[in-house]
Amino acid sequence: MELREAIGRRRSIRFMRPYRPVEPEKIQRMLEAARLASHWGNVSTLRAVVVFRDTAPDDVREALTAPVAGFQIRAAPVTIVWYLDTDAIDEQSDRLRELLRAGALGVGENKEKALEEQLLPIFEGIQDLLKAPGLSEVDCGQGIAQATLVAFEQGLGTCCLSGPNMDEIRQRLGLPDACRVILLQTVGYPAESPDAGGQRPRLPFGDLFHMNGYGKPFPRSEEVVAELQRDNMIQEQAPAEWREAELEWLQKALDIKGAGLI
Ligand SMILES: Cc1cc2nc3c(=O)[nH]c(=O)nc-3n(C[C@H](O)[C@H](O)[C@H](O)COP(=O)(O)O)c2cc1C
């Protein structure tokens, strides 16, 4: 599948086939994609613990049971606990030196001296800021997004889950204090139809993006929109007319108690 179509077809999948395990090599491909994503200073703060529901020890599985979307975690054969390790930022100088040696950073004979005397002191001076929530979360998001597309490419569905108890999960999994759990991502074979009822709503393009200054909407070319529709990146809006019937069927098939929200 082409990248454009993959972006358009990807949906958050909340209803998984609970009986169908996910092959570890498919998860590995997701992790490989996450590892290749860009990161400021090349420090790679993104880490993960992958929990296979059927083989993980009880205490590890139970560490995941409290989030808001508990029913999704119970049904998913795999949950990836994505976390950010701020200790990686202690190594930022070495990562920048590696970048320079790799030919990614700097030009000319004096680049090593300039790195040591000019750039590294700047980074070292803002290390605490770089460890605070913000920039590194952006990088983790890029890695998770790449992993999500690779999951989708392999016929899997995923849903990102967050909640008020991320630090409790960190503690129960024994992750060091320097780590922050970013989110949990369920992974499995979708029980719902592949397009899961169509493109979920988004705010209007013109409300989101500006050109040459705040308040001047980026002009949206209808020609480009038509091209992306042809390429299946922009798809039919949800809900498809059969979606409520599908949800009713999923509720029965998966024996979901209540409204399926928590
Ligand atoms: C960082 C993040 C956290 C999310 N947390 C939850 C969550 O806790 N529970 C849930 O059901 N969906 C969660 N979602 C999924 C969003 O609700 C979903 O992206 C939105 O409904 C749009 O649907 P789509 O992803 O299919 O386009 C999360 C998504 C992201 C990116």
Tell me the pLDDT tens digit for each residue of 171-227.
999 999 999 999 999 999 999 998 899 999 999 999 999 999 999 999 999 999 999
For ligand 1, atom 5, the nearest C-alpha belongs to 161
Within-domain flag for 187: yes
Within-domain flag for 247: no
Question: Residue 17 in contact with residue 189, Cβ under 8 Å?
Answer: yes
Average pLDDT over residues 251-262: 88
Q: How far is the CA of 10 from the centre of ligand 1 (A)?
A: 12
β-bridge mates for residue 237, sequence order:
199
Q: How far is the CA of 74 from the centre of ligand 1 (A)?
A: 17
C-beta of 69 in contact with ligand 1 (< 6 A): yes
C-beta of 162 in contact with ligand 1 (< 6 A): yes
Specify the pLDDT at position 258: 85
Q: Is a pLDDT exceeding 80 seen at residue 69?
A: no
Mean pLDDT of the chain: 95
Share of the chain above pLDDT 90, in %: 90
With cut-offs at 50, 70 and 90, classify the pLDDT of residue 21: very high
Q: Is a pLDDT exceeding 70 seen at residue 66?
A: no
C-beta of 12 in contact with ligand 1 (< 6 A): yes
Q: How far is the CA of 11 from the centre of ligand 1 (A)?
A: 9
Q: How far is the CA of 105 from the centre of ligand 1 (A)?
A: 36
C-beta of 165 in contact with ligand 1 (< 6 A): no
* Structural domain containing residue 133: 3-195
β-bridge mates for residue 80, sequence order:
50, 185
Within-domain flag for 225: no
Within-domain flag for 253: no
Q: Is a pLDDT exceeding 60 seen at residue 39?
A: yes
Q: What is the CATH number of the domain that holds 69?
A: 3.40.109.10
Within-domain flag for 218: no
Q: How far is the CA of 161 from the centre of ligand 1 (A)?
A: 6
Number of domains in the chain: 1
**CA dihedral (139, 144, 145, 146) positive or negative:** positive
Within-domain flag for 216: no
Note the pLDDT tens digit of each residue in 101-149: 999 999 999 999 999 999 999 999 999 999 999 999 999 999 999 999 9
With cut-offs at 50, 70 and 90, classify the pLDDT of residue 65: confident
Within-domain flag for 204: no
Question: Residue 157 in contact with residue 151, Cβ under 8 Å?
Answer: yes
C-beta of 234 in contact with ligand 1 (< 6 A): no
Specify the pLDDT at position 163: 85
Q: Is a pLDDT exceeding 80 seen at residue 150?
A: yes
C-beta of 171 in contact with ligand 1 (< 6 A): no
Q: Is a pLDDT exceeding 90 seen at residue 261?
A: no
Q: How far is the CA of 160 from the centre of ligand 1 (A)?
A: 5
C-beta of 76 in contact with ligand 1 (< 6 A): no
In angstroms, the CA 58 to CA 77 distance is 14
Tell me the whole-structure pTM to 2 decimals. Answer: 0.96
Within-domain flag for 244: no
In angstroms, the CA 259 to CA 262 distance is 8
